[in-house]
């Protein structure tokens, strides 16, 4: 089986052979992998594929394998969130997106590696060790959905699900040279996703091309009564894929091209913007002055929500537990041993920001800045159709290069976290290379205007060949 097949090609291969054979070949590739992209491979994948063959199921994803980030609940598979503290925990229910995938006939290959509790930009904080970037196994794949992006880039799954709290789908998409979408907040149900920061995070797809992103969105998007933030926008994503950007107005926010951006990344992104211009679009510079405060606002809000959400992991109900002479000692020892350094750091900072005397000084002020950032997006998108900028300021860095310097790692999110604060859709598409590593173009749109975002990405893809470039053999 050829690697890096599109969903359409996978379905054709299934028609020629069987879902079981296709799944077996992906499992064989996973077994030979050197990138540590999966935490757990599903022991039911072949059984699931065989059942589809026998029953002749004809759902939109019948027999198509998919990888799932290991913070999304799947019955029968561990849901570790990349952490020791959830050791042995197997969820008794499926996330909403998993229900939709199974109804569509998808075959779940397994759970992918991630930064612990989705906290990180490099997939180095995982209890199960770092994932390697298929383009250079000495480099990070980005994070926190690094495992999902890496297995797609390495041909170990045709597409995957991740979650994006501050860039966790788009960052690894850019670093691994694949396509990654952060949908509008509320477009996809978060039911069954272990929460890091509820008001920011969103489930998003990763794939080798824009069409597969749209195919997956048509399956997983939509209203879910179990998620109070879920909205039924009735968007038809695949229908938006038209090779045409004539008369499209593009805004280029100057704040996204700030100090510290890699020259090769900047050149690749500007080349992409000029490509749109040659295809009939127009562009203009726009200013979003409050973006300069977005990163600080994002981390205060995210860490505050994390300190609240992670309080439930105490060894009392499920997962890892240390012994202690009383309940307080047990909880203290469990959390000290079960959580990694980065998670502890974020819990402590979030608890501090929410504490008496500091709530107004930090958390409340961060919420006010969030409103200003949202207003910047509203104002900019009232004059243009889309915004374009680099997804990441740099190409993938080496494993271990930044892990001891958390502030430098946090700065990696400078171009992605404003989108989560505003709740708007954003896709990262491959737009070139620098130093032999992929560069991502970030295309941002109005709330629930994924059709325009995907149309632009699709047109760019159809008129360039960056998405056809593949990393060196890593299996």
Domains of the chain: residue spans and CATH:
7-245+396-468 (3.90.1300.10)
Q: What phi, psi does 135 have (nearest 5°)?
A: -75, -25
Distance between CA atoms of residues 392 and 109, nearest Å? 29
> What is the per-residue pLDDT across 207-222, written as a single tens digit (0 to 9) for each?
999 999 999 999 999 9
- Picking from 427, 442, 440, the residue whose alpha carbon sits closest to that of residue 396 is 440
Q: What phi, psi does 111 have (nearest 5°)?
A: -105, 135
Q: Helix 365-381 and helix 294-309: axis angle, to 10°?
A: 130
Look at residue 259 in the predicted model and tell me its pLDDT: 83
**Alpha carbon distances (Å) from 232 to 3, 184, 220:** 35, 11, 11
Given the residues 73, 80, 122, 168, the one annotated as active site: 168
Grouping H, G, I as helix, E, B as strand and the rest as coil, residue 388 is strand
Q: Specify whether the CB–CB gap between 429 and 459 falls below 8 A.
A: no
Q: Catalytic: 6?
A: no
**Per-residue pLDDT in tens (0 to 9) along the chain, 475 residues:** 457 899 999 999 999 999 999 999 999 999 999 999 999 999 999 999 999 999 988 899 999 999 999 999 999 999 999 999 999 999 999 999 999 999 999 999 999 999 999 999 999 999 999 999 999 999 999 999 999 999 999 999 999 999 999 999 999 999 999 999 999 999 999 999 999 999 999 999 999 999 999 999 999 999 999 999 999 888 999 999 999 999 999 999 999 998 889 999 999 999 999 999 999 999 999 999 999 999 999 999 999 999 999 999 999 999 999 999 999 999 999 999 999 999 999 999 999 999 998 999 999 999 999 999 999 999 999 999 999 999 999 999 999 999 999 989 999 999 999 999 999 999 999 999 999 999 999 999 999 999 999 999 999 999 999 989 999 876 5
C-alpha 130, offset from chain centre:
16
- Picking from 117, 70, 109, the residue whose alpha carbon sits closest to that of residue 90 is 70
Look at residue 1 in the predicted model and tell me its pLDDT: 41
Given the residues 121, 144, 189, 426, the one annotated as active site: 144
Q: 328 exposed, middle or buried (CB, 10 Å; 0-12, 13-18, 19+)?
A: exposed
β-pairing, 386-390 with 437-444?
Answer: antiparallel
**Alpha carbon distances (Å) from 209 to 110, 212, 390, 445:** 21, 6, 18, 19
Look at residue 475 in the predicted model and tell me its pLDDT: 54
Total-model pTM: 0.97
- Picking from 46, 98, 47, 49, the residue whose alpha carbon sits closest to that of residue 71 is 98
> What is the per-residue pLDDT across 48-58, written as a single tens digit (0 to 9) for each?
999 999 998 88
Torsion of CA 418, 419, 422, 424, to 10 degrees: 170
Q: Catalytic: 168?
A: yes
Q: Catalytic: 17?
A: no
Given the residues 69, 100, 402, 446, the one annotated as active site: 69
Distance between CA atoms of residues 450 and 210, nearest Å? 12
Look at residue 234 in the predicted model and tell me its pLDDT: 86
């Amino acid at each position: 089986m050829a690697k890096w097949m599109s969903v359409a090609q996978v379905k054709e291969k299934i028609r020629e052979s069987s879902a079981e054979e296709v799944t077996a070949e992906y499992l064989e590739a996973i077994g030979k992998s050197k990138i540590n992209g999966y935490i757990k491979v599903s022991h039911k994948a072949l059984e699931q594929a065989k059942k589809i063959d026998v029953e002749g199921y004809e759902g939109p994803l019948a027999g198509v394998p998919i990888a799932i980030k290991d913070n999304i609940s799947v019955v029968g598979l561990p849901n570790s969130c990349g952490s020791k503290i959830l050791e042995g925990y197997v969820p008794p229910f499926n996330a909403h997106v998993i229900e939709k995938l199974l109804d569509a006939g998808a075959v779940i290959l397994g759970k992918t590696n991630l930064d612990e509790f989705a906290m990180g930009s490099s997939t180095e904080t995982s209890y199960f060790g770092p994932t390697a970037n298929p383009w250079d196994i000495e480099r990070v794949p980005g994070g926190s959905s690094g495992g999902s992006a890496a297995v797609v880039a390495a041909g170990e799954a045709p597409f995957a699900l991740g979650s994006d709290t501050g860039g966790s789908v788009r960052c690894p998409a850019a670093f691994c040279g694949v396509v990654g979408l952060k949908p509008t907040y509320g477009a996809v149900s978060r039911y069954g996703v272990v929460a890091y920061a509820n008001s920011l995070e969103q489930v998003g797809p990763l794939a080798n091309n824009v069409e597969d992103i749209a195919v997956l969105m048509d399956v997983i998007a939509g209203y879910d009564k179990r998620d109070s933030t879920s909205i039924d926008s009735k968007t038809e994503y695949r229908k938006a894929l038209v090779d045409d950007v004539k008369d499209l107005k593009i805004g280029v926010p100057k704040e996204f091209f700030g100090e510290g951006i890699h020259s090769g990344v900047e050149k690749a992104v500007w080349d992409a913007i000029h490509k749109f211009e040659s295809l009939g679009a127009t562009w203009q510079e726009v200013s979003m002055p409050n973006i300069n405060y977005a990163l600080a606002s994002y981390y205060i809000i995210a860490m505050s929500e994390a300190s609240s959400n992670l309080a439930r992991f105490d060894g009392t109900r499920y997962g890892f537990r240390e012994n202690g002479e009383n309940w307080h000692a047990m909880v203290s020892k469990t959390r000290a041993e079960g959580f990694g350094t980065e998670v502890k750091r974020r819990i402590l900072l979030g608890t501090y920001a929410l504490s008496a005397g500091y709530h107004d000084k930090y958390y409340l002020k961060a919420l006010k800045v969030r409103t200003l950032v949202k207003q910047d997006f509203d104002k900019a998108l009232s004059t243009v159709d889309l915004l374009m900028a680099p997804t990441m300021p740099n190409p993938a860095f080496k494993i271990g290069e930044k892990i001891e310097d958390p502030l430098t790692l946090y700065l990696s999110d400078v171009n992605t976290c404003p989108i989560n604060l505003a709740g708007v859709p954003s896709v990262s598409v491959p737009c070139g290379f620098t130093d032999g590593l992929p560069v991502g173009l970030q295309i941002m749109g109005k709330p629930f205007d994924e059709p325009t975002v995907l149309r632009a990405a699709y047109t760019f893809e159809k008129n360039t060949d960056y998405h056809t470039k593949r990393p060196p053999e890593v299996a």
